[in-house]
Chain A
């Protein structure tokens, strides 16, 4: 019997998710033994045309990480969707838009201008910007098109499962691959991680009293963090209450507050709004001046509460960005 075919692909991501696969360490040998990896650009030499040549649905599962920002990524997402029985959004960027989708606060023009003209290290007197086609010595050179907004994978193609995390931990990756190989998958559309918030697994849970109210907010680098106490009781924003568990609380065990990478539970549409609602309701002051004083301890609310999920949140994008999300119209 031939081994099931598996593909890995990356779109707008940092490469951490690829690392996460390698982080399976010696367990990866078991995976390699059990499957046939037919496409993995970061580690193996395959070309797009190899994939195009495969029969539709011949790949059992593609684990795709990264958000969709460019035309190339979109094209690959469609191609892999066609060739795969299961398309799995691997990691926070593919699942929710991830950190790249924080760019949805800005227009395409703002981003290109900043990156190619305004960053302190940029020397570009000609104000050259990347073009999708360029003529040089009679040759036409092309580059992928830079879209207006960043999208999560399921905002572009249908997705069967999600593996959360920035990056997903080796444990949930292994469990997901195991479930896939054994055919023990839950109903389609599910997130392959526990559906309870992080506090449930957090070793600091017991140290939180029932009457926390906030008189200030501090950022982790400005304060000495008690290694045993609930971060919220230390006035440090911890996204744990609004974030799906399953990571085994690696960050809080490492004395850093949860930043929310596993995304919301299945019951929540907007992780950031939920956390804001919970924190703000517990702000001690009841007058406007006092409240804004306390909230000034959170200088970047979008980056704090929507760090991994702006694309999939109810906010989605800056309000005046084109809603089609697709073509660049400049």
Chain B
């Protein structure tokens, strides 16, 4: 082949890793090493139990020195896992790290095949490809890019709050963007938290206030991120700030305007109380809302909608002039180096399981509705009542509503068992009602949670194991009259039961936010098949994403409880801090570059770049690539009609020799 010697005399070291039995169980590693030893340019070929171990890396370094290796190929796992490890080993041995090529014989071979002979043949073909390719590798340098020290946190639930405070306390400037009028998220709606039964508001509201008063945190509520451009260390983010028609700087939260509103009584469903109470067009989401600033619902306010209101609120506000009907939506552009996405979850819509009667029977409620009823600051001031005002004498909890269910969501929402037991205990505390919990399995793995389950049992809460078939008001016996009947197969007792209760609580599970896909695209993240944001590695990089400088925390990554959300938020903040304090990042040099003399200036590449890294130089009449913006996706390289854009580590000779290597393996 004409390429064969075009990069001088190369001395290649080849290594295949057994990865314990992960690879060696399916691939005959010594045979692959023996095969590679005979290929042109290979001077050392070895198989070794764990290449990523210290002795494995030391082996590479030693061979580089002793055998004057100029190229290294390691056949092991995914480059995602250990490419950097082996590049570092090459560098430590005195070789430019980009003279290294990795072959994935685990995920691409041993893990997906069962036939040993064929898997071995495939490993040889892949090794052949890499050995042919590595010849064309060139020495490359990693560029250093400065990191902007400011951080954007998206979502003001407990995860976002904690991440913002951690970063703010470390002296970093943080923008906390929340689309609702107050921060606090789901946690603000809770009465008590499991398993300690401490008051949710008592632990949350100090953190909320701290956010508001923190000199390093800029809090933007009623705001949404609409555009993200740039790359790790240098993101330009556009935030849409929706009008609240009340000037945040001037309002003191006296709420005189709410009293003065032309609507004498609340008329519209109160979002915070999940529709259990009514609010006015001008309102404050809840008493501890942060910021303590009222807002006007533009869909409900007569003045905003028609401009023909008496504007009694204006009079009440008097000379503060906080109410401002002229407010318009604003787009604000900020520059940040890192982004933490903590956009949370939404609750499963119980109407999707019609046999449970939610929306049909007034006394079938969701767990969050009961949570609001239980709360002393809630719509009933803590009284657990039926819709007609009576106190229930019996309450049934149905677990796994929209969780662990092939018809709706397959995953376990992780918190509903504990949440339901907490509510069950609160029901027992507030009323004399008999409480029965209908469960498939009780999952109480957290610290203190199994003990909490024990406590629930001891306190006389009944547990019936079985998935509830249906809820009905069709009485078949006198004691069922006027009650809701739960029909369930008690799988421990072994027969179908009918259990009449006054109130039924559906423990609704967690789901990805409705706009998770848009948010994913906005921040260039991935989603798993269920729609939760995908972490870079399920174990080793649980808060990182595949986009550098974008981290995830809390339930947007998957269902979890408050302690786990906070732990993730702290981890995400730490990841961001690590980048900020280093001050720069080293950029993978797999960037595209234009051979200026070859470029005809046809401009085909310019609209294709997803990172707007390509511009047209009018003076030279050529396209130019900003290497700092280039992420190495290769779109322009493939599309350049005259082959004038090349890409480091993906040069045509490298790719073609790799393809030829696979195809010519015999």
Contact = CB atoms under 8 A, between A and B. Distances in A.
B96 interface: no
Interface in A249-279: 264-265, 267-269, 274-275, 277-278
B600 A282 contact: no
Given A265-B643, A274-B642, A278-B639, A208 B602 contact: yes
A267 B652 contact: yes
A213 B607 CA distance: 8
A245 B600 CA distance: 9
Contacts of B599: 196
B604 A264 contact: no
Contacts of B604: 212, 241, 278, 281-282
Given A197-B602, A210-B616, A278 B640 contact: yes
Contacts of A241: 600, 602, 604, 641-642
B559 to A, nearest CB: 33
Interface in A194-217: 195-200, 205, 208-213
B639 A267 contact: no
Contacts of B638: 277, 281
Interface in B637-666: 638-644, 652, 656
Interface string A199-241: 1100001001111110000000000000000000000000011
A191 B635 CA distance: 28
A281 B598 contact: no
B597 A196 contact: yes
B641 A278 contact: yes
A242 interface: yes
B85 to A, nearest CB: 34
A209 B616 CA distance: 10
A242 B599 CA distance: 11
Interface string B224-253: 000000000000000000000000000000
Contacts of B602: 197, 199, 205, 208, 240-241
Interface centre among B603, B640, B641 (most CB of A within 10 A): B641
A245 B643 CA distance: 14
A269 B616 CA distance: 26
Interface string B170-199: 000000000000000000000000000000
Contacts of A242: 641-642
B643 A268 contact: yes
Interface residues of B: mostly helix, strand, loop or mixed? loop
B643 to A, nearest CB: 3
A267 B644 contact: yes
Contacts of B652: 267, 269
Interface in B581-617: 595, 597-604, 606-608, 616
A265 B642 contact: yes
A282 B607 contact: yes
A268 B642 contact: yes
Given A196-B597, A264-B643, A265-B644, A208 B603 contact: yes
B84 interface: no
A159 to B, nearest CB: 14
Nearest to A195: B598
B601 A211 contact: no
B600 A199 contact: yes
A265 B599 CA distance: 11
A209 B602 CA distance: 9
B394 to A, nearest CB: 54
A205 B644 contact: no
Interface centre among B597, B604, B606, B643 (most CB of A within 10 A): B604
Given A281-B608, A281-B635, A282-B608, A196 B643 contact: no
A210 to B, nearest CB: 4
B159 to A, nearest CB: 34
A259 B31 CA distance: 52
A281 B606 contact: no
23 contacts: A195-B598, A196-B598, A205-B621, A210-B603, A210-B607, A210-B616, A212-B603, A212-B607, A241-B604, A242-B641, A245-B600, A264-B642, A264-B643, A267-B598, A267-B643, A267-B644, A269-B656, A274-B642, A278-B639, A281-B638, A281-B639, A282-B604, A282-B607
Interface of A: 195-200, 205, 208-213, 240-242, 245, 264-265, 267-269, 274-275, 277-278, 281-282
Interface of B: 595, 597-604, 606-608, 616, 621, 635, 638-644, 652, 656
5 closest cross-chain pairs (CB), A and B: A267-B643, A197-B600, A242-B641, A241-B602, A197-B642
